[in-house]
Amino acid sequence: MIIKDNIDEFYSYLTDAGNLKGYAVKLFLPESINELNETVNFCFLNNLNITMSGAGTGTTGGRVALDGVIISSEKLNKIISFDEKKLLIEVESGVTLNQIYDFLADKNCFYAPNPTESNSTIGGNIANNSSGARSFKYGPTRNYIQKLEIILSNGDVLNLDRNQKANDNIYEIIGNSGRSYKFQIPNFEYPKTKNSTGYFLNDGMDLIDLFIGNEGTLGIISKVTLKLTEKPENILGFLAFFENYESSLEFVNYLRNQKTNQNEKLCRLIEFFDFHSLALINKKMQSIPKLAQAAIWFEIESNHENSDAIIEDIFTKIQEFTNLADDTILAQSQNEHRLLTDFRHALPLEVNDIVSKSGFRKIGTDTAVPEKYFKEFFEFMNSTFINSGIEYVIFGHIGDCHLHGNLFPKNQTQFEIALEIYKEIIKKTIEFKGSVSAEHGIGKIKKQYFEMMIGADNINKMKEIKKIFDEKNILGIGNLF
């Protein structure tokens, strides 16, 4: 066990990629799950608030303690077991996505969810039900969680398997201690979009789903078993450029609705970059045509027999939407795919660097709306940002109607304007029956917008469920509520 009680030695744990700053009296770095359990018991007996810390890549302040102690999962980084036949891998919660990707590199399977920050931990991904570009086809983290080991604040341990259901609408979980934890499902509807806001509460839900997206407020994830996916035979990547937003959105509409012969989505990811995003990326990559106002990156899974036909069809279709078709970048080899992945990942890194240097916390949207409202929503966001006079970029998972609009205020006046703009974007999202957080969670900085979305009564119902599993209310203080 590593323990640090000099704040100067763990100052970097008091912030995250969103630039929110916090405070704690002590940092614990358990080096085994037994030590994690011992630490939790110590905090429970001494009434110390606990904030769990992963890799610090979050953007909503979820890992930023407001008081009490921090427990970091970074030393819990073991891959426990792997079953290639059953396509399952068991890992500790501090294992990073990069570790999983590296371990599976020479295997015939892969982990389908791909949150943009590959240095993030699997525990953090589960806490927020994170998703990424490939969620367009494969869905979010939730879809790939088969088993969870959860340590409650009282030290009790829950072992949850997929397909454990309620009994007569009463949900009951029995801890390793023999203690029973019962709750009922509140009656309210989530947006019918990509969504990562609060507790997953649906009739007929699996018990395990309550803890996916709980943001460290119900229990501490110690171990997880993940479902893997067979690797496709071939992947075709395309980066297409457009002279205007209108044609890029029309092309996305075309891609969204294309199916394979097996009636699956043709594309596994569809990503959007606005003009300002391209300008930011071009500072480092310098491979963008001068007339480009927008770009769409998309990937298609194929086999060796049909790849050439798909490429020919796609290039023919791109020509219908843009005069920059000849500038389209095609990726087939590993190095070519890495170029496009680096292109996409360079943008949030540049954004976070700007935020870090500005001295202001991040003002970035994480909203998703139903497809029928998307074009109107995009035009509203873009025109609002333009009229603000504040530097900005808009990019993200356009296949899921989910964009990140980031404002970069340079002074206090602009920061206050940016907060008002953010609120207007949230209002429009709710008007269109969308989600105020599609993948990054609520954390500490989106609580008021969460309440705007689901209402105070439903917030109180979630708080009641929290009391059942966290009787002293010491976990994840400030997250969600």
- The residues, ordered by sequence, that sit 6+ positions from 124 with a Cβ below 8 Å of its Cβ are 54, 55, 57, 58, 62, 63, 130
Which pLDDT does position 466 carry in this prediction? 97
pLDDT grade for 290, boundaries at 50, 70 and 90: very high
Residue 188 clears pLDDT 80, i.e. is over it = no
Residue 286 clears pLDDT 70, i.e. is over it = no
Going by C-alpha positions, the residue among 134, 129, 150 that lies closest to residue 62 is: 129
Q: Higher-confidence residue: 230 or 353? A: 230
Find tokens 């078993």 and name the residue.
225
Which pLDDT does position 285 carry in this prediction? 67
Calculate what percentage of the chain has a pLDDT beyond 70: 99
Q: Which of 110-119, 224-233, 422-431 has the lowest mean pLDDT?
A: 110-119
Q: Record the tokens describing residue 93, joined without a space.
A: 């919660």
- Domains defined for the chain, CATH in brackets: 2-72 (3.30.43.10), 79-230 (3.30.465.10), 234-431 (3.40.462.10)
What confidence tens digit (pLDDT) does each residue in 30-68 have?
999 999 999 999 999 999 999 999 999 998 999 999 999
Q: Record the tokens describing residue 295, joined without a space.
A: 């770009």
**Average pLDDT of span 339-355:** 83
Residue 413 CB coordination number (10 Å): 10
* C-beta of residue 69 within 8 angstroms of C-beta of residue 51: yes
Calculate what percentage of the chain has a pLDDT beyond 90: 85
Q: How far is CA 184 from the centre of its chain?
A: 27
* C-beta of residue 121 within 8 angstroms of C-beta of residue 95: yes
What confidence tens digit (pLDDT) does each residue in 405-447 have?
999 999 999 999 999 999 999 999 999 999 999 999 999 999 9
pLDDT grade for 304, boundaries at 50, 70 and 90: confident
